[in-house]
């Protein structure tokens, strides 16, 4: 599935005024999607092709359901880690605080 481009590069050298100042764009000038410099000048830019990318991290999310309220604190700490929280941060809280923050609502 194709994604919406996030970066654009100038197609060829061009100069125009932007916010009261002259701006030069060209093949080495990269602009992020949504920047106002693109508005009305879309024809001067083309989506940037990344030839050598790195794998993107998986989005953090809950990998499991929360443990039962009577589960030991260690299970709650592991659950917080699975949600993207830090072990040290979870261990600094009481079990009751963990249940209150991460338990089912």
- With 50 as the cut, is the pLDDT of residue 1 above it? no
pLDDT at position 63 is 57
pLDDT at position 2 is 52
State pLDDT tens for residues 56-103.
776 655 557 888 889 999 998 888 888 878 888 888 888 888 888 888
- 3-state SS, one letter per residue, for the chain: CCCCCCEEEECCCEEEEECCEEEEECCCCEEECCCHHHCCCHHHEEECCCCCCCCCCCCCCCCCCCCCCCCCHHHHHHHHHHCCCCHHHHHCCCHHHHHHHHCCC
pLDDT at position 30 is 93
Residue-range domain boundaries for the chain: 7-47, 62-105
């Amino acid at each position: 599935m194709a994604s919406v481009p996030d970066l654009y590069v100038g197609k060829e050298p061009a100069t125009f005024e932007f916010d009261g100042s002259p701006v030069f764009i060209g093949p080495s000038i990269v602009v992020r999607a949504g920047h106002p410099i693109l508005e009305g000048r879309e024809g001067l830019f083309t989506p940037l092709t990344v030839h050598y990318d790195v794998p993107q991290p998986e989005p953090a999310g809950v990998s499991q359901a929360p443990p039962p309220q009577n589960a030991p604190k260690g299970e709650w700490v592991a659950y917080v880690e699975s949600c993207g929280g830090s072990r040290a941060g979870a261990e600094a809280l009481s079990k009751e605080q963990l249940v209150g923050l991460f338990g089912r609502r």
